[in-house]
């Protein structure tokens, strides 16, 4: 075990310090949005924001038949097949899974659905990446490998269509569950295949930070690509885009300062690589910072998370972002809904601004009736006639319920 005890103690101290704080971060008031910005509040039972039904995928149940306290669908990523026009939706499915000793344990896996009518109806296609029984390679502890926040992308070339999929993976110990996840197990996995369904069995490359334990056998430590990235304790919320012959990957660089999650310094970082026949052979390069605390303040938060990249109906590249802050009272991140912002450029990375220097925000989607932690992620594809998708969630200490909703917004 290489430095594993040091890593565990380091991250335990970070968590302990975070829980010991007594105040809650409060975002600076956002400037007025441009007149053309669409404002939409997705509240419960609103006919303008109906829940998305996925035929064949039902709410999670316990072995007893009772509703699972961890259930629903979250973290949507929707993309249109450039050949068939069919939409594909990857989403997180929280549940209590039985993997050890016939005892249910909380976990998250990625499911897959498709739509042939622009998102008006969805059909379940199966599990994309399932919860796996595993041992922590640093200490041989029993648990599972869980998957969250997947992002899909089809890339069409003269030789055909290649589908990429990236996700966050971590080890979830059998004892202690989510609160006991070792930070040194967090890493990204990326795969490529001929179809979304084929991603389930495709080879993956592991992308890590300095803090990821070497026992996870990463293909590349992305933090090694630039000295400024040594501050990144983990990557989260990955998103993909392809342009000018390169695959772009944007991730949140989660930073801790004095043991507290410093969301205002947890920038959105861009990397790029040319495609390769073998996913392990992709040569990634550091591109720069797409957005950070300054942009977050303009959008109503202290930091930015849950990024997705998509084209708008007019072909403009858009970043779908969630402003957030860290709450010491809730001991969690507070989300303030989704903002759809125009992107000036990926290389060099920059969001688009008007003549006064304000970000150009096409849409602001909120959920004013939800508890303090707010909604989950949003996703959009210009093939979505049903509009942008948002995750409504109720996240408590011992349970979480989340559902996808269609907003009808086509930015």
State how far the alpha carbon of 364 is from the alpha carbons of 8, 42, 317, 361, in Å.
Answer: 39, 11, 17, 7
> Tokens at residue 141, please?
């502890």
Q: In this predicted model, what pLDDT tens digit does every residue of 190-208 receive, in sequence order?
A: 999 999 999 999 999 999 9
- Of the two residues 219 and 94, the one the predictor is more confident about is 219
Which pLDDT belongs to residue 411?
A: 94
- Per-residue pLDDT for 189 more than 90? yes
Mean of per-residue pLDDT scores for the chain: 89
Which pLDDT belongs to residue 279?
A: 98
Q: In this predicted model, what pLDDT tens digit does every residue of 28-56 receive, in sequence order?
A: 455 445 458 999 999 999 999 999 999 99
> Tokens at residue 250, please?
């944007």
Q: In this predicted model, what pLDDT tens digit does every residue of 297-321 receive, in sequence order?
A: 999 999 999 999 999 999 999 999 9
Nearest to 131 by CA among 113, 149, 143: 143
Which pLDDT belongs to residue 258?
A: 81
Which pLDDT belongs to residue 158?
A: 85
Q: In this predicted model, what pLDDT tens digit does every residue of 254-301 receive, in sequence order?
A: 998 887 889 999 999 999 999 999 999 999 999 999 999 999 999 999
* Cis amide linkage into residue 89, ω under 30° from 0: no
What is the spatial distance between Cα 239 and Cα 386, in angstroms, rounded to a whole number? 21
Confirm if 172 and 181 have CB atoms less than 8 A apart.
yes
Q: In this predicted model, what pLDDT tens digit does every residue of 59-107 receive, in sequence order?
A: 787 777 888 888 899 999 999 999 999 999 999 998 876 665 566 677 8
Task: Determine whether 407 is exposed, middle or buried from the number of CB atoms within 10 Å of its CB (0-12, 13-18, 19+).
Answer: buried
- Per-residue pLDDT for 8 more than 80? no
Task: Determine whether 294 is exposed, middle or buried from the number of CB atoms within 10 Å of its CB (0-12, 13-18, 19+).
Answer: exposed
Question: Confidence class of residue 20 from pLDDT cuts 50, 70 and 90?
Answer: very low
Which pLDDT belongs to residue 99?
A: 62
State how far the alpha carbon of 40 is from the alpha carbons of 299, 313, 362, 390, in Å.
Answer: 15, 18, 11, 11
Domains of the chain: 4-406 (2.120.10)
């Amino acid at each position: 075990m290489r430095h594993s005890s040091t890593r565990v103690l380091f991250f335990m101290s970070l968590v302990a310090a975070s829980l010991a704080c007594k105040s809650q971060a409060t975002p600076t008031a956002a400037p007025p949005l441009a007149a053309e910005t669409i404002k939409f509040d997705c509240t419960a039972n609103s006919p303008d924001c109906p829940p998305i039904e996925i035929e064949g995928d039902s709410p999670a149940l316990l072995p007893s038949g009772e509703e699972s306290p961890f259930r629903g669908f979250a973290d949507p990523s929707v993309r249109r097949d450039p050949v068939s026009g069919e939409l594909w939706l990857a989403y997180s499915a929280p549940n209590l899974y039985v993997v050890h000793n016939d005892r249910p344990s909380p976990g998250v896996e990625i499911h897959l659905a498709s739509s042939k009518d622009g998102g008006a109806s969805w059909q379940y296609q199966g599990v994309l990446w399932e919860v796996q029984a595993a041992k922590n390679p640093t200490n041989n502890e029993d648990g599972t490998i869980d998957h969250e926040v997947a992002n899909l992308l089809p890339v069409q070339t003269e030789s055909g269509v290649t589908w990429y999929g990236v996700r966050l993976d971590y080890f979830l110990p059998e004892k202690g569950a989510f609160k006991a996840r070792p930070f040194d197990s967090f890493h990204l996995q990326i795969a490529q295949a001929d179809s979304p369904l084929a991603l389930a069995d495709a080879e993956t490359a592991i992308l890590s930070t300095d803090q990821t334990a070497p026992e996870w056998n990463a293909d590349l430590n992305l933090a090694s690509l630039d000295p400024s990235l040594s501050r990144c304790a983990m990557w989260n919320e990955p998103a993909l885009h392809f342009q000018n012959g390169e695959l772009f990957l944007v991730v949140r660089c989660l930073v801790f300062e004095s043991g507290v999650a410093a969301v205002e310094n947890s920038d959105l970082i861009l990397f790029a690589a040319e495609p390769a026949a073998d996913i392990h052979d992709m040569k990634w390069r550091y591109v720069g910072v797409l957005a950070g605390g300054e942009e977050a303040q303009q959008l109503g938060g202290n930091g930015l998370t849950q990024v997705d990249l998509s084209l708008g109906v007019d072909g403009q590249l858009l970043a779908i972002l969630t402003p957030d802050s860290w709450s010491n009272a809730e001991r969690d991140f507070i989300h303030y809904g989704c903002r759809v912002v125009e992107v000036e450029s990926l290389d060099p990375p920059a969001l688009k601004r008007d003549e006064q220097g304000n970000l150009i925000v096409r849409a602001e989607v909120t959920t004013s009736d939800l508890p303090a932690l707010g909604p989950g992620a949003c996703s959009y594809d210009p093939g979505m006639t049903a509009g942008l998708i948002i995750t409504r969630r109720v996240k408590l200490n011992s349970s979480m319920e989340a559902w996808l909703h269609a907003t009808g917004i086509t930015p």
